[in-house]
Homo-oligomer: A and B are copies of this chain.
Amino acid sequence: MYDCMIKVAINGYGTIGKRVADAVAAQKDMKVIGVSKTRPNAEAFVAKQRGFPLYIADISKKEAFEKAGLKVAGSVEDMCKAADVIVDATPGKIGATNKALYEKLGKKALWQGGEEHELAGFSFNSSCNYKDAIGRQFVRVVSCNTTGLCRIINEIDKEYGVNHVHAIMVRRGSDPGEIKKGPIDAIVLDPVSVPSHHGPDVLSVLPHISITTMAMIVPTTMMHMHAIQMTTKKPVTKERVIELINKHPRLGLIKKTAGLKSTAELKEFAMDLGRQRSDLWENCIFEDSIYANKNELCFFQAIHQEADVVVENVDAIRAMIGGEKDAAKSVAATNAALNFKTIQNNH
């Protein structure tokens, strides 16, 4: 029923925020009561098209918005007051500055991976620690890369026991709609030092895992690519790994028959299949790359940086509000509302 719907505000209607808004709006138990923007640009017109009330960070800019034909519903504070939970999707490090407001209003809030673990005190991944998020006031949904790592590491760990993970993140330089960031023709070590922050970040969700990560940035906008090696306690087989992937609601398998061997072809496939915004919410593990040799498991997985955390945000909201105690049920509800079946079911 309408009355018992969770009232969600999206603070920061950008790359992540606009996706979470649409995902929330699609859920049966949630609704978007407002989204916030700083400037009257194209994304503001998208909010208008969707019918999301538009709030603005700096109310003195109201006139500029209205001149552009965009109705302003109020300030960010107004929006937060009206919400049960706030999804903070402002740019990295900005989110932290909003905590005082959420505390003052006594509101539940969740941040994205651009913020530090300490800000929320709890780092979330639906497949790993949904239960621990139930009822919390503050949650941080880990970054796209960490989300992708946690999902698969946890699955392999439960089955075989993970001794050590060596993961290389080859990251996209910017999102497709971003025009200022490079590089144009370079491979950039980010950071140069080893391990990158991704390893420690995995530990914020799965503290017992031994992992060394290395990360770089390359001139592409499409997706990240992970080259992963895990050494395991028990011997691994390719067949069983495929089974584990197929049983998991957010582990995708790119089957050999599809003939896909790149992020670009994969995004094109998602687009052709009619996924909203061509979003790939699942890890995209290449079947043909899965290499199991005794206690060594290697594979490639592509991670759609803009998408995988979106479904996690929805589950996090549900856990925080406490209406659904069962992780699997929340995940199933989230996926169903988005018509999301992992990609192996489409080829």
Partner-binding segment picked from A93-101, A240-248, A294-302, A322-330: A294-302
Complex contact B188–A179 (CB within 8 A): yes
Within 8 A of B (CB), among A165-180: 166, 168, 170, 173-174, 176-180
| Distance, CA A40 to CA B260, complexed state (A) | 11
Q: Mark A201-231, 1 if CB is under 8 A from B, else 0.
A: 0000000000010101011111101010100
Q: Mark A112-137, 1 if CB is under 8 A from B, else 0.
A: 00000000000000000000000000
Say yes or no: A192-B261 contact (C-beta < 8 A), given A170-B187, A218-B170.
yes
A165 to chain B, nearest CB (A): 11
Complex contact B220–A267 (CB within 8 A): no
Q: Which of chain B's residues have a CB closer than 8 A to the CB of A299?
A: 194
Q: Which of chain B's residues have a CB closer than 8 A to the CB of A227?
A: 168, 214, 216, 227
A271 within 8 A of B: yes
Partner-binding segment picked from A41-49, A55-63, A79-87, A152-160: A41-49
How many copies of the chain does the oligomer comprise?
Answer: 4
Option from B174, B176, B180, B192 in Cβ contact (under 8 Å) with A267: B176
| Distance, CA A1 to CA B286, complexed state (A) | 45
Say yes or no: A214-B49 contact (C-beta < 8 A), given A170-B187, A186-B264, A262-B189.
no
Interface size class of A (residues with CB under 8 A): 35 or more
| Distance, CA A298 to CA B216, complexed state (A) | 14
A263 within 8 A of B: yes
Partner-binding segment picked from A25-33, A139-147, A272-280, A313-321: A272-280
Q: Which of chain B's residues have a CB closer than 8 A to the CB of A177?
A: 264-265, 267-268
Q: Which of chain B's residues have a CB closer than 8 A to the CB of A302?
A: 187
Say yes or no: A346-B40 contact (C-beta < 8 A), given A174-B184, A188-B179, A223-B187.
no
A193 to chain B, nearest CB (A): 5
A133 to chain B, nearest CB (A): 29
A92 within 8 A of B: no
Q: Mark A280-304, 1 if CB is under 8 A from B, else 0.
A: 0000001011110100101110100
Q: List 28 A-B contacts (CB under 8 A).
A: A41-B258, A42-B268, A69-B257, A164-B296, A166-B229, A166-B298, A170-B218, A173-B184, A176-B264, A177-B267, A179-B186, A179-B261, A179-B264, A181-B181, A183-B264, A184-B219, A184-B221, A186-B263, A187-B302, A189-B225, A192-B261, A193-B288, A194-B300, A212-B296, A214-B289, A218-B220, A221-B264, A272-B277
Q: Known A-B contacts: A185-B222, A186-B222, A212-B296. Give 13 more (CB < 8 A).
A: A18-B272, A42-B347, A164-B296, A170-B187, A177-B265, A177-B267, A182-B184, A185-B264, A187-B220, A187-B262, A192-B261, A193-B289, A195-B298
The 4 closest A-B pairs by CB, nearest first: A177-B268, A186-B264, A194-B291, A41-B259
